[in-house]
Amino acid sequence: MTGNVLLMLPEILLGAGAVLLLLWDLRLPAEKKGLLCWGAVAVAAAALAATWAPDIARTLSASPADAASVFAHESFAVDGLSVFLKRLFAITAILVFITAKDSVDAFPNARGEWWTLGVIALLGMFLCSGANDFMTLFVSLETVTVAFFALAAFRRDKPASVEAGLKLLVMGSLSAALLLYGIALIYGSTGTVFFSEIAGKIAPRALPDGTLVVPAIPAEMVVGAALVVLGLGFKTSAVPLHVWVPDVYQGAPTPTTAYLSVGSKLAGFVLLIRVVAMFGASPELGAQIAAFMSVIAGVTLLYGNLGALPQTNLKRLMGYSSIAQCGYLMAGIAASWEAGMSSALFYMASYVGMNLAAFAVIMSVSRATGSHEIDDYSGLARRSPMLGMALTLALLSLAGVPPFMGFFGKFFLLGAAYGRPELFWLFLIGIACVVVALYYYLSIVRRIWSEEPRIRTEIRAPRRVTLTLAAVSVVLIGGAILPNLVQAPATAAVKQMGVFPGKPPVPPRALR
């Protein structure tokens, strides 16, 4: 079965768009390179629109074979999960491109390639969201990573940027090696790379006479699965492959950091959810991997939140905050039941808004002040009330305070972990970290509002950026008041995977 080519329309559009942007870049005079931004935005918007193409294809096609949701010999899934993530990725790219335009236009060299690489990274993310076998997983993941090597090292004139690219390269190679080794072990024990076939081999089967055969899970399968989860931790910035995060966030050009902090991270998460769903076919392996992830989640939460406390550089703090946010998401995924998975999806959606709003402000402020020190954000609300307000809303949402989407997401991520009695310790770490996180986010909010600026000149952000920030802020509040607009598709996507139980898996122990 080859499937309907419409199912891959968004990826085709992105691939073609990247090539066209590159060609256009060749013909554009240097002073008009800014136009490429709108080209990249148009490509991402076209891809976003094309994510509705499968629905159209399904309505149009008469034969059920064409309506299949897998493509190219089951290598590529077009299901609720992948469509949900593709829309998030496209929105991420559009927001990053719109808000990064001024910073990229000010780069001294090779301004055009940034947009092309950005679209290629987006293509990689789209492929990640549908990856349904280990080869596609690896190739699509590397498409994202390699694009980000270049994007991080983009400012060749700045040693910090080159160092960031190099760090990403070294850590990326290490994690790729771990991932590949894990894949090899799994291939060795199952003889296939296709997720559906692996799941079929490890899942318990009922014989015709009704007895249930539970396949034994060999040790190399468990090690392989653990290595895959570890390797993906490089993208999601989970401990122990998180070490690059603060340095690269600080050193890379800010537009790259913004893109990296959201796009690359969510690409890792969608793959993580996919492989967890596959391992979950075997209750034994699923439980082992969930336990492994819960430990990672706990350590990541503590590391990110405690590490953020002494930071003085906002970009670096956002790096630690990004590690911390990964911990919350991992906690929900480690709970491996419907509420945890669907609220992880919800939280990813809110993460796009709140993190990109924060970085949009960081870009605008640093263009005026040339600094990322938190001290230089003192009195920001006096220098630009709009930017101060937008950064405040983004930080409060990251801290998980109502009435913002971050509150709703965090509540149910931790609530899902609570639903499993054996993860009660993780829930306790989670709520302790909420208090710690409140401290460092509010410390910045305090500086923005109640301290006097050292320099009183007004900071002006382009109208394009302020309008984007206003829209994102409205979505962050609106999404908390009407959460079902996002939660319903997220729940549907998780239900469609059919692996995760809809109720807490074990009856919760009374609190004694």
Tokens matching residue 352: 């796009």
- For the CB of residue 473, give the shortest distance to other proteins in the complex, in Å: 10
- Phi and psi at 52, nearest 5°, equal -85, -10
394 binds other proteins (CB under 8 A): no
Residue 487 found at the interface with other proteins (CB under 8 A): yes
Best CA proximity match to 295, nearest among 172, 436, 429, 437: 429
Distance CA(289)–CA(202), nearest Å, equals 14
Name the token pair of 404: 């913002």
CA–CA distance, 70 with 77 (Å, rounded to integer): 4
User: How many CB atoms sit inside 10 A of residue 209's CB?
Assistant: 5
Q: Is 46 exposed, middle or buried (0-12, 13-18, 19+ CB in 10 A)?
A: middle
Instruction: Report the residue number, 292 or 411, with the smaller CB distance to other proteins.
Output: 411
Residue from 396, 444, 469, 476 binding other proteins (CB under 8 A): 396
Number of residues that bind other proteins (CB under 8 A): 40
**Which C-beta is closer to other proteins: that of 150 or that of 434?**
434
- Please state the closest distance from residue 294 (CB atom) to other proteins, in A: 17
Tell me the two tokens of residue 198. 């692996």
Query: Site for other proteins (CB under 8 A): which residue of 431, 455, 467, 471?
Result: 431
For the segment 329-348, give every residue that binds other proteins (CB under 8 A): 338-339, 342
- Closest approach of Cβ 440 to other proteins, in Å? 11
Give the closest residue to 130 by CA, choosing from 117, 141, 120.
141
Helix (H, G, I), strand (E, B), or coil: what is residue 203?
Answer: coil
Residue of 43, 434, 461, 493 interacting with other proteins (CB under 8 A):
434
* Least Cβ distance, residue 315 to other proteins (angstroms): 23
3-class secondary-structure state, position 70: strand
Q: Please tell me whether residue 508 binds other proteins under the rule CB under 8 A.
A: yes
Which of these ranges, 102-110, 265-273, 356-364, 394-402, lies near other proteins under the rule CB under 8 A?
Answer: 394-402
Q: Where in 140-179 is the site for other proteins (CB under 8 A)?
A: none
Give the nearest distance from C-beta 207 to other proteins in angstroms.
32
Backbone φ and ψ of 194, nearest 5°: -80, 130
Shortest CB 54 distance to other proteins, Å: 23
Shortest distance (Å) from residue 36 CB to other proteins: 35
- Give the list of residues 6+ apart from residue 49 with CB closer than 8 angstroms, or none: none
**Binding test (CB under 8 A) with other proteins, winner from 77, 93, 445, 461:** 445
Let me know the angle formed at the C-alpha of 215 by 214 and 218, rounded to the nearest 5 degrees.
135
Cβ–Cβ < 8 Å for 118, 104: no
Q: Is 206 in the site for other proteins (CB under 8 A)?
A: no
Tokens of 250: 């600080």
Q: Where does this chain touch other proteins (CB under 8 A) — which range of 83-91, 216-224, 372-380, 443-451?
A: 443-451
**Going by C-beta distance under 8 Å and a sequence separation of 6 or more, which residues neighbour residue 160?**
250, 251
Using the minimum distance from each CB to other proteins, give the nearer residue, 300 or 491.
491
Q: Which stretch binds other proteins (CB under 8 A): 20-28, 175-183, 287-295, 435-443?
A: 435-443
Bridge pairing between strands 76-77 and 205-206: unpaired
- CB 197, min distance to other proteins, A: 31
Contacts of residue 313, Cβ cutoff 8 Å, sequence gap at least 6: 250, 372, 373, 374
d(CA 352, CA 330) in angstroms, rounded, equals 17
3-state secondary structure of 292: helix
Among 41, 444, 491, 505, binds other proteins (CB under 8 A): 491
Show the site string, 398-427: x = touches other proteins by CB under 8 A, - = not: ---xxx---x---xx--x--xx-------x
For the bound state, the minimum distance from the C-beta of residue 487 to other proteins, rounded and expressed in Å, comes to: 5
The reply to whether 133 sits near other proteins by the rule CB under 8 A is: no
Q: Site residues (CB under 8 A) for other proteins?
A: 338-339, 342, 381, 385, 396, 401-403, 407, 411-412, 415, 418-419, 427, 431, 434-435, 438-439, 442-443, 445-446, 449-450, 482-484, 487-488, 491, 503-504, 507-508, 510-512
